[in-house]
Amino acid sequence: AQTVTQSQPEMSVQEAETVTLSCTYDTSESDYYLFWYKQPPSRQMILVIRQEAYKQQNATENRFSVNFQKAAKSFSLKISDSQLGDAAMYFCACRANSKLTFGKGITLSVRP
């Protein structure tokens, strides 16, 4: 069975600053995928970024990038130039053996 751990329940960042959300995972599978999802208050969960475990290069999507440390089983999300619209709950997830497992999530607030 795989596990995903998000140990920080809440974080806060000043608008225009950079914030890093941490996530660790554990799986016995060699082929797996990692995701960060964003769930704004009362709104739909959307995919932020996706990383294939077999790729060494860190995924990047505009202001969002990951730091994938495979040996440490760490998958952190960096948000640059934070915007008010980035305020949401962020979930880290791991898909292995056809099963997607989520962490408990972290609530990110953005200070104007």
Partner 1 sequence: ETGVTQTPRHLVMGMTNKKSLKCEQHLGHNAMYWYKQSAKKPLELMFVYNFKEQTENNSVPSRFSPECPNSSHLFLHLHTLQPEDSALYLCASSQDASGVRGTDTQYFGPGTRLTVL
Minimum CB separation of residue 83 from partner 1 in Å reads: 18
- Reference 27, options 72, 73, 91; nearest CA is 73
> Residue 16, by phi and psi: left (phi above 0), alpha (psi -120 to 50) or beta?
left
**Applying CB under 8 A, does 90 fall inside the site for partner 1?**
no
Contacting partner 1 (CB under 8 A), which of 33, 58, 65, 74? 33
**Applying CB under 8 A, does 97 fall inside the site for partner 1?**
yes
Contacting partner 1 (CB under 8 A), which of 14, 26, 47, 109? 47
- Total of residues contacting partner 1 (CB under 8 A): 23
Residue type, 31: D
CA distances from 72 to 1, 32, 64, 67, 106 (A): 18, 15, 21, 11, 20
Q: Name the site residues for partner 1 (rule: CB under 8 A).
A: 4, 31, 33, 35, 37, 43-47, 50, 52, 91, 95, 97-105
